[in-house]
Amino acid sequence: MSTAAAAIPYTVDARPDTGLNNVKLGIWLFLASEVMLFGSLFAGYILLRTGNPAWGAGSELLSIPLATLNTVVLITSSVTMVMSWVAAMERNLKKLRLFMGSTVALGAVFMVVKGFEYAAKFEHHHPPSYSTFMACYFTFTGLHALHVLAGMGVNFYFGFPGAKMMQTDPQQFANRVETAGLFWHFVDLVWIFLFPVLYLLNFGPPAGH
Amino acid sequence: MEHIDATDHLDAHSPEALRKHVRTYMLVFGSLMVLTLVTVGLKYLHLPTVPAILVALAIALVKGSLVACYFMHLISERKLILILMLATVFFFFGVLLGPTLTELNEINPIH
C-alpha cells in the first residue's frame, strides 16, 4: 500500500475478511441502494398502470427513433468507459483521455437528444400533468438524466484533472476508474430497461385528457 | 478466506489478459447493438400485450446481464459481491411485485 493511501486503509489491497478492497465493496453497496431506488419507481409504475384501465398509448407520444439513438449512444459510451479502464490498467494516459473524453462526449450527446425530446413534449402540450404516463416518463427519465450528468462529472474529473494520479499511484487510479465505470454501466443498465418499458410497451387507446 | 493483494490483481490483468478483455467487450458491444435492433423491430410486429411485454423484458434482461457480467466484471467478481447482488435482486423483486400483488384483487387487469 502506498504512503498516501495508508491513511485510508484497503483502497488498493483487499481486506483479508472480505477479499475485496473497500472501494469495490463500497460502490457495489451504493449500486445496491440504487437498484432499490429505481425498483421502487418501477413498482409505482406497475401499480399505476395495472390500476388504470384507461392507461392509453403513451409510447405513441414519444419518439422511438430518438430513444433508439440514445440507446445506441449510451451502449457505445459503456464500451468507451470500459476501454478507459483498460487504458488505466495499461497506464496509458493518452488512451485514457481519448476514451474518457469520448465517454463524456457521448454522455453529452445523450443529454442533448434528451433535451430535444423534452422540448418536443412541451411544444406539443404533453407536460408531466398531461397524463399519469407522462408524469412517469418525466420522473423516470429525469432521474436517469441526473445520473448521467453526475457520471459525466466524475468521468471528466478522472479523465482530465484527476488523471495526474496515474503517475503517482497507478493501481489506485485504475481502481477509481473501474469504480466510476461501475456507476456508468449501471446508468446504462437502467436505460436498457427504461427504453422498452416507456417507449415500446405502452400501446392501446390514446392517453391523456 | 484467501488473501488477495494488488499484485495478484495486476497479474490477472496482464497485457495478454487485457487484450482478451477487449475482444470480449467488442463481442458484447455487437450483441447489445443487435439485441437493441431486435427490441425495436418487435415493436412493429404488433404482438398482443402479454407476449410483447414478456419478449421485450426478456431481451432487456439478456442485455442487462451482458452489461453486468462483462462490462461490470460481475462474471469474475468475488463471492461476496455476488451474494450482495443476489440479495439485492431478491429485495428488488419484493419491492417491484409486492405492492401490485397485494392490491391484485382491488385493481383492474391490463387491457
**Domain membership flag for residue B108:** no
Distance (Å) from the alpha carbon of A4 to chain B's nearest alpha carbon: 16
**Domain membership flag for residue A179:** yes
pLDDT single digits (tens) A32-82: 999 999 999 999 998 888 888 777 777 789 999 999 999 999 999 999 999
**Domain membership flag for residue A159:** yes
Q: Residue B63: is its pLDDT beyond 90? A: yes
**Domain membership flag for residue A208:** no
Q: Mean pLDDT, chain B, as a whole number?
A: 85
Mean pLDDT of B57-85: 96
Range of the domain at B41: 6-77
Q: How many domains does chain B have?
A: 1
**Domain membership flag for residue A206:** no
Range of the domain at A46: 19-200
Amino acid A206: pLDDT: 47
pLDDT along chain A (209 residues), means of 10: 63 90 95 96 90 79 95 98 97 97 98 97 95 94 98 98 95 96 98 94 58
Instruction: Note whether B50 contacts A: Cβ–Cβ < 8 A.
Output: no
Rounded distance between C-alpha atoms, residue A24 and residue A177, angstroms:
11
**Domain membership flag for residue A183:** yes
Residue B100: pLDDT band (50, 70, 90) is confident
Closest CA to A75 of B63, B79, B110: B63
Q: Residue B107: is its pLDDT beyond 70? A: no
DSSP reduced 3-state for B72: coil
**Domain membership flag for residue A27:** yes
Amino acid B102: pLDDT: 80
Q: Taking CB atoms and an 8 Å cutoff, what residues of chain A touch B91?
A: 36, 39
Q: How many domains does chain A have?
A: 1
Q: Which of B20, B28, B40 to mutate to test the interface with A (most CBs of A within 10 A)?
A: B40
**Domain membership flag for residue B106:** no
Amino acid B84: pLDDT: 95
Instruction: Note whether B58 contacts A: Cβ–Cβ < 8 A.
Output: no
State the CATH number of the domain containing residue A189: 1.20.120.80
**Domain membership flag for residue A11:** no
**Domain membership flag for residue B84:** no
